[in-house]
């Protein structure tokens, strides 16, 4: 099919063509311009009852600790950095992938920070989370921080989302299920959630990706903040048991019930 030359176009067609040029130019620019998004994928998981980089994740002095079996695995996500160029093509290609999440950059990284400042922020959040986890676990066990010193080593994975699993790890190391057995019942337990010193568990980002990471690394059970059950259910592998939690006390109770055959809440 042959189109007439521009000289033969009607006045309306010429005006439409002229108006379309800036729009096409804008679309072309947008296709290559960086967008304010980060693209995340499932990250690593770490057993807080074991070693990381050759050192125990949880060390305790001032109290006798138990030898544990099973695993309590915290999970993470990997996201493109605050200075990474994420274009329209990247967003379009990853938008519909279940193993990717396109997230507003400001929801992943503190706005206006350099890469170094972001790293420092994440480490500070992790340190705060570890302190809260220690205080919550010792309070649950009626132990005094003056008598029991807990050291947590996992600073290279930033953010506060491992708080729940740190607290459970401390409880398992010191008390197990309270009857001489392991809190895990020998299982591989995954989970995520922030924690406050009073034991309250809070929501975190990237739950669907963390569920995938835990399933990949062998977790049969996943503890998730109750308000985020639906997010977890969408990506949980077949056979994975999702347990909602609102606080440390009910998380411990659920794991004990899981081992004893009692009633366990489910998402």
**Which pair of structure tokens corresponds to residue 37?**
């998004």
* pLDDT over 90 (residue 82): no
Residues 76, 185: one domain? yes
Task: Please state, in angstroms and rounded to a whole number, the distance separating the CA atoms of residues 234 and 84.
Answer: 28
Residues 202, 237: one domain? yes
Report the percent of the chain where pLDDT is more than 70: 85
Cα 218-222-223 angle, rounded to 5 deg: 150
pLDDT of residue 121: 77
Residues 194, 244: one domain? yes
pLDDT of residue 146: 94
CB atoms under 10 Å from CB of 223, counted, come to 26
- pTM to 2 decimals? 0.82
Task: Please state, in angstroms and rounded to a whole number, the distance separating the CA atoms of residues 145 and 60.
Answer: 11
DSSP letter, residue 150: E
pLDDT of 118-166, one tens digit each? Answer: 778 778 888 899 999 999 999 999 999 999 999 998 866 767 899 999 9
**Which pair of structure tokens corresponds to residue 56?**
């125990």
Residues 10, 115: one domain? no
Residues 7, 138: one domain? no
Residues 204, 154: one domain? yes
**3-state SS record for 172-187:** HHHCCCCCCCCCCCCC
Mean pLDDT confidence for 226-232: 96
Residue 20 belongs to domain spanning = 1-33
98 in any annotated domain: no
Q: How confident is the model at residue 15 (pLDDT cuts 50, 70, 90)?
A: very low
* pLDDT over 70 (residue 45): yes
């Amino acid at each position: 099919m042959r189109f007439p030359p521009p000289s033969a176009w009607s006045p309306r067609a010429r005006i439409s063509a002229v108006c379309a040029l800036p729009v096409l130019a804008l679309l072309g620019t947008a296709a290559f311009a960086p967008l304010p998004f980060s693209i995340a994928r499932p990250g690593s998981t770490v057993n807080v009852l074991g070693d990381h980089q050759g050192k125990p994740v949880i060390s305790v002095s001032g109290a006798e600790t138990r030898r544990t079996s099973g695993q309590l695995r915290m999970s993470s996500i990997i996201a493109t950095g605050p200075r990474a160029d994420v274009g329209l093509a990247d967003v379009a290609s990853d938008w519909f992938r279940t193993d990717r999440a396109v997230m507003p950059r400001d929801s992943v990284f503190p706005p206006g920070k350099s890469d170094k400042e972001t790293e420092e922020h994440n480490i500070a959040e992790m340190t705060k989370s570890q302190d809260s986890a220690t205080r919550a676990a010792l309070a649950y066990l009626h132990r005094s921080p003056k008598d029991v010193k807990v050291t947590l080593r996992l600073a290279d994975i930033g953010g506060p989302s491992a708080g729940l699993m740190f607290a459970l790890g401390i409880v398992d190391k010191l008390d197990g299920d309270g009857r001489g057995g392991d809190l895990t019942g020998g299982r591989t337990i995954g989970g995520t959630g922030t924690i406050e010193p009073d034991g309250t568990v809070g929501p975190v980002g990237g739950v669907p990706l963390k569920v995938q990471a835990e399933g990949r690394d062998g977790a049969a059970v996943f503890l998730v903040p109750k308000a985020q059950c639906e997010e977890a259910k969408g990506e949980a592998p077949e056979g994975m048991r999702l347990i909602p939690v609102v606080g440390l006390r009910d998380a411990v109770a659920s794991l004990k019930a899981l081992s004893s055959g009692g009633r366990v809440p489910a998402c």
